[in-house]
A and B are shown apart, each in its own frame.
Chain A
């Protein structure tokens, strides 16, 4: 007891020693006790906050997802409220797709979280290295697709896509016209790219220029959409298959090309899109 309490006291400056007439603090048992109590208190504080706030956060997330799907489809008006979003989303039909066969499944997609499924070994597959353009390593066996209809007719098809950017995974919704080739919009709603550089995927001007781009070649067989360095000259013949690079964000831009190449390809939504076209 005596050896351990003499040292810390002596090493402290004189003024603080005067105030601390409390029992020795630096014994092993005392240290462990303080550490344990602190950990319990902090854990409780964090857990309570997380659990109490989770419903609100989940609601926000779901609303945000609906909003992003509507935004990709160009259907989101400025200043829409939560109930506006819910109402607008009523014309969207959410369906599940089996990636391998490309068939639409009859199951109710409510509560299906494609991201969670990708993490579950029973509901996901590992992507072969040479096919994993988006560097996402695994993909759920089933994917979500969103049919946007107006008066019963299909106006747009929205697909969730994601792939690695520079700092992490970027998540977006790709909205396609009924020809399943022409882009209506590409809306990134979650990413951790650098503000001002990679985060410019959220720049309205860049998003706008996606409208009308064609992902596949004229025979609709090969995925030809890719980025260029700098701004696409709309007069060049291939302009419709090229999108603007983001200044100072080479890897992010490349990531966009790669993730599209993956999700439109045979390992992901490719089979489904082929089926839909026929």
Chain B
């Protein structure tokens, strides 16, 4: 097993092995919560918390998990963390929780979380797994924030609720792009981001067999 350096483990998932852009995981929540920046950021923080701790927890007990219940054990740990995060958001950010409560629950099904638990945390130490969790969650967050900024600015003319482009309906000049408010726009933006990323990092382009 190659010894991964902590710095690589933390920074690779940002541009080199981005979970959304290269591994194409966790795209569903990226579509759902990115119509506004505040919900996207809450989602990102939740995923960072869940991914880092689930990776660490799975790594901590990896030698004791019976093979036959491996996946269920990972799922239980992830579900527990997600529930705790959801409870916190409801206690401290009630307004935002009303917007994203459903989607926070769906972090349990986010392929990135299960994927890293299985692919990395089961085979590496606690410290490294924790960093891998943070790294992948940061890679996920990077994409989400970029998409959310584009969608909120073009779709609503605002950022974090603060008006940037005055809408025509408010007496201004900007006609909001309705497509940006719908989930498919996130899909298109992610596609364009993947294209841009692979133009910069040509080694990510898939080889034709």
Chain A interface (Cβ < 8 Å from any Cβ of B)? 8, 12, 15-16, 20, 22, 25-27, 30-31, 34-35, 38-39, 42, 45-46, 49-50, 53, 56-57, 60-61, 64, 190, 192, 195-196, 205
Task: Pick the residue among B65, B79, B91, B182 that contacts A60 (CB under 8 A).
Answer: B91
Question: Is B201 close to A, CB under 8 A?
Answer: no
Task: Pick the residue among B79, B88, B92 that contacts A49 (CB under 8 A).
Answer: B88
The residue in chain A whose Cβ has the minimal distance to the Cβ of B102 is A192
Give the total of B residues in contact with A, Cβ under 8 Å: 32
Can you list 21 A-B contacts with CB-CB less than 8 angstroms, sorted by A residue number?
A16-B123, A20-B63, A22-B63, A22-B64, A25-B63, A25-B65, A26-B66, A27-B66, A34-B65, A34-B69, A42-B77, A42-B79, A49-B83, A50-B83, A53-B87, A53-B90, A57-B87, A61-B94, A195-B99, A196-B181, A205-B169
Whether the Cβ atoms of A45 and B80 lie closer than 8 Å is: yes
Chain B interface (Cβ < 8 Å from any Cβ of A)? 1, 32, 35, 63-69, 72-73, 76-77, 79-80, 83-84, 87-88, 90-92, 94, 98-99, 102, 123, 169, 181-183
Assess A46 versus B83: contact at CB under 8 Å? Given A31-B68, A64-B94.
yes
The residue in chain A whose Cβ has the minimal distance to the Cβ of B93 is A60
Tell me, in angstroms, the Cα distance from A53 to B181 when the chains sit together: 33
Contacts of B99 in A (CB 8 A): 195
- Residue with the greatest number of chain B CB neighbours at <10 A, chosen from A8, A12, A20, A49: A49
The residue in chain A whose Cβ has the minimal distance to the Cβ of B155 is A196
Contacts of A31 in B (CB 8 A): 66, 68-69
Contacts of A8 in B (CB 8 A): 67
Tell me, in angstroms, the Cα distance from A205 to B156 when the chains sit together: 14
Contacts of B181 in A (CB 8 A): 196
Tell me, in angstroms, the Cα distance from A224 to B88 when the chains sit together: 44
Tell me, in angstroms, the Cα distance from A266 to B99 when the chains sit together: 34
Tell me, in angstroms, the Cα distance from A196 to B185 when the chains sit together: 12
The distance from the CB of B151 to the nearest CB of chain A, in whole angstroms, is 11
Contacts of A205 in B (CB 8 A): 169
Tell me, in angstroms, the Cα distance from A24 to B79 when the chains sit together: 27
Tell me, in angstroms, the Cα distance from A12 to B63 when the chains sit together: 13
Whether the Cβ atoms of A38 and B63 lie closer than 8 Å is: no
Whether the Cβ atoms of B66 and A25 lie closer than 8 Å is: yes
Assess A50 versus B87: contact at CB under 8 Å? Given A34-B64, A35-B69.
yes
Assess A196 versus B182: contact at CB under 8 Å? Given A22-B63, A42-B76.
yes
Whether the Cβ atoms of A42 and B90 lie closer than 8 Å is: no
Whether the Cβ atoms of B73 and A38 lie closer than 8 Å is: yes
Tell me, in angstroms, the Cα distance from A25 to B76 when the chains sit together: 18
The residue in chain A whose Cβ has the minimal distance to the Cβ of B36 is A195
Tell me, in angstroms, the Cα distance from A88 to B102 when the chains sit together: 31
Whether the Cβ atoms of A53 and B63 lie closer than 8 Å is: no
Whether the Cβ atoms of A56 and B66 lie closer than 8 Å is: no
The distance from the CB of A186 to the nearest CB of chain B, in whole angstroms, is 17
The residue in chain A whose Cβ has the minimal distance to the Cβ of B63 is A22
Contacts of A60 in B (CB 8 A): 90-91, 94
Contacts of A26 in B (CB 8 A): 66-68
Tell me, in angstroms, the Cα distance from A61 to B76 when the chains sit together: 28
Whether the Cβ atoms of A42 and B65 lie closer than 8 Å is: no
Whether the Cβ atoms of B84 and A49 lie closer than 8 Å is: yes
The distance from the CB of A9 to the nearest CB of chain B, in whole angstroms, is 9
Task: Pick the residue among B84, B91, B98, B182 that contacts A45 (CB under 8 A).
Answer: B84
Contacts of B123 in A (CB 8 A): 16
- Of all A-B residue pairs in the complex, the 3 with the closest CB atoms, nearest first, are A60-B94, A42-B80, A56-B91
- Residue with the greatest number of chain A CB neighbours at <10 A, chosen from B63, B72, B79: B63
Contacts of B79 in A (CB 8 A): 42
Tell me, in angstroms, the Cα distance from A30 to B35 when the chains sit together: 47
Tell me, in angstroms, the Cα distance from A79 to B128 when the chains sit together: 44
Whether the Cβ atoms of A53 and B88 lie closer than 8 Å is: yes
The residue in chain A whose Cβ has the minimal distance to the Cβ of B92 is A56
Contacts of A56 in B (CB 8 A): 91-92
- Residue with the greatest number of chain B CB neighbours at <10 A, chosen from A34, A39, A64: A34
Contacts of B102 in A (CB 8 A): 192
Assess A38 versus B94: contact at CB under 8 Å? Given A26-B66, A49-B87.
no
The residue in chain A whose Cβ has the minimal distance to the Cβ of B99 is A195
Whether the Cβ atoms of B98 and A190 lie closer than 8 Å is: yes
Tell me, in angstroms, the Cα distance from A31 to B65 when the chains sit together: 8
Contacts of B67 in A (CB 8 A): 8, 12, 25-26
Tell me, in angstroms, the Cα distance from A49 to B82 when the chains sit together: 11
The residue in chain A whose Cβ has the minimal distance to the Cβ of B101 is A192
